[in-house]
A and B are shown apart, each in its own frame.
Chain A
Amino acid sequence: MNRFFLRLSALCVAFLAAVNIAHARIEFDITKGNVEPLPMAIMDFKGDPVAAQVVQVIRDNLRNSGLFNLIDKAAFLQNDLDFNTPPKYEDWRSINAQALVNGQVTKLPDGKLRAEFRLWDIFGASQLAGERYDIQPEFWRRSAHIISDKIYEALTGEKGYFDTRVVFVDETGPKDKRVKRLAIMDQDGANVRTLTRGSDLVLTPRFSPTRQEITYMSFEGGQPRVYLLQIETGQREVVGNFPGMTFSPRFSPDGQKVIMSLQQGGNANIYTMDLRSRNTTRLTNSSAIDTAPSYSPDGSQVVFESDRGGRQQLYVMPASGGEPRRISFGNGRYSTPVWSPRGDLIAFTKQAGGQFLIGVMNADGSGERILTEGFHNEGPTWAPNGRVLMFFRETRGAGGGPKLYSIDLTGKNERQIPTPAFASDPAWSPLLD
């Protein structure tokens, strides 16, 4: 049984009619540089025992986004609120809550859980959002992520990213004998599941934008090549029949192609393979290392790194190939470019002064901003709304290893993502639907 699609069919959505109508008053623009977190209150959810876990996941998501300041329950003046009744706005105004969430989780006669919430604009005295989800009990966590996304979207005007997953490389064992396994988890580190057994070295997994599928590199059979993996069935296949090592794969935005590097002698060039026709196309032809290709979200261009000018720099070329244009000109080496899902920015790893930094620049190379720096930060990946990045940070020495971190596009709110062991090469999924 396909667990992913089971999840989808298990969700039944209903919009809850507003209890009263008024104009929204909350003004909250997260696209500005320096955002003060929005003060808000989330009441305990009523009903089934799982309600406490649901509301905890919602609180963690919103707090961890760095955009919301959750008011301590001890400050609440109204502690009981019927789900179908508006709150006492003045009680919430007096503790400066701009928004209020209440909800309940109830068990239905057929065994399903019903999770519902309402989001209130306190100063506008109106309901901003209200929805109901009937779910199989084992998917309670997903309902919490979906509710979190609805609240985020209603308050910020932008899509959320909580109902997403991250594929990464789980790392165990000593540094000179590391065992690496593909693993997948919810965006917040919950529900970790390994996808490979660890007998073969595996690297750089990337999500398909359209299917429950991953492309990655494996050393299976002593032959390093790019593979596809169906997440739910575990079915694997080699991508193409190339005369050499293929590596650094990524999907096209329509999910129909894999773009990757092919090593031939001392040179790496960029190729695509159409997954339907199996036709391969060569995009670069240089005596250099051309790698880490990433499509623009409209599919028209590709950004990649190349040392054709002497050391690693970022270049952009048409998706059909053609003359690349260098876009990185700062001091240092630039690598692992990833185009933002919004199309405006390119995230990268930068090596300068013996440090490894994560930064972003405009797609034309202007406006470089460094988000984090240190001994070793590498491999950024974008949340599907383009507001948050995840990357890995490696610590020094024999006992050192990588861990996953997320950081806001503003460079604020850097957080470690909990993983069972060392973890590297994160790749964020699109929003599930």
Chain B
Amino acid sequence: MSAAASILKSPAFLALAIGLAVAGCAKKNNLPDNSGQLGLNGATPGSQQDFTVNVGDRVFFETDSSILTPQARATLTKQAQWLVRYPNYPVTVEGHADERGTREYNLALGARRAAATRDFLASQGVPGSRIRTISFGKERPVAVCNDISCWSQNRRAVTVLAAPQG
């Protein structure tokens, strides 16, 4: 493979190219005002992609726990800062459980994780009225292997942004 071809296929180049493409058409899509800037990892600042890639849209939990780990709190602190800066996105926090529990309990456990996440975001200045919660229990795994590594990815709360309002 030639050097030029490998550069063209490198993730950094692709991210740059996507970033330029997004930035180029951002105004037409009525994204937030600063969307003309070239953001990190190719994401337009203030975009949903920016939130997912640069802030992190999910936090993870220990088995049968809804206690926020130090890492989860760090992620949620960044989420809250971002959400305060971009106040036009309605937010849904989805709570999930791994498959190693019974169905009804896992629905409640997912709700407990979503509530803990919402409460933390609210404590960091995001209005609670802006945050909806929903639990999917063990019904929507993202990782499907039969392994502790997969189960730990499924014990999560995901902050999902809706289309911006106002």
CB–CB A400/B104 < 8 A: no
In the complex with contacts A268-B111, A289-B109, A400-B146, A176-B134 CB distance below 8 A: no
Complex Cα gap A378–B138 (Å): 13
Complex interface: chain A residues within 8 A of B107 (CB)? 203, 224, 245, 247-248, 263, 291
In the complex with contacts A203-B139, A266-B112, A289-B105 CB distance below 8 A: yes
Complex Cα gap A46–B149 (Å): 61
Complex interface: chain B residues within 8 A of A245 (CB)? 107, 111, 134-135
B140 lies within 8 A of chain A by Cβ: yes
B158 lies within 8 A of chain A by Cβ: no
Complex Cα gap A129–B100 (Å): 49
Complex interface: chain B residues within 8 A of A353 (CB)? none
B50 lies within 8 A of chain A by Cβ: no
Complex interface: chain B residues within 8 A of A305 (CB)? 104-105
Complex Cα gap A351–B145 (Å): 20
State how many angstroms separate the Cβ of B26 from the closest Cβ of chain A. 29
| Between-chain CB contacts (< 8 Å), 6 pairs | A203-B103, A245-B134, A247-B104, A261-B104, A336-B104, A424-B103
For window 311-326 of chain A, which residues contact chain B by CB distance below 8 Å?
311-312
For window 257-298 of chain A, which residues contact chain B by CB distance below 8 Å?
261, 263, 265-268, 289, 291-292
Report, nearest first, the 6 A-B pairs whose CB atoms are least far apart: A396-B146, A397-B146, A266-B112, A289-B108, A248-B104, A398-B144
CB–CB B105/A174 < 8 A: no
| Residue among A224, A265, A425 making CB contact with B103, cutoff 8 Å | A425
Complex Cα gap A368–B146 (Å): 30
A379 lies within 8 A of chain B by Cβ: yes
CB–CB B145/A398 < 8 A: yes
Complex interface: chain B residues within 8 A of A291 (CB)? 104-105, 107-108
CB–CB A266/B115 < 8 A: yes
State how many angstroms separate the Cβ of A169 from the closest Cβ of chain B. 10
B25 lies within 8 A of chain A by Cβ: no
Complex interface: chain B residues within 8 A of A211 (CB)? none
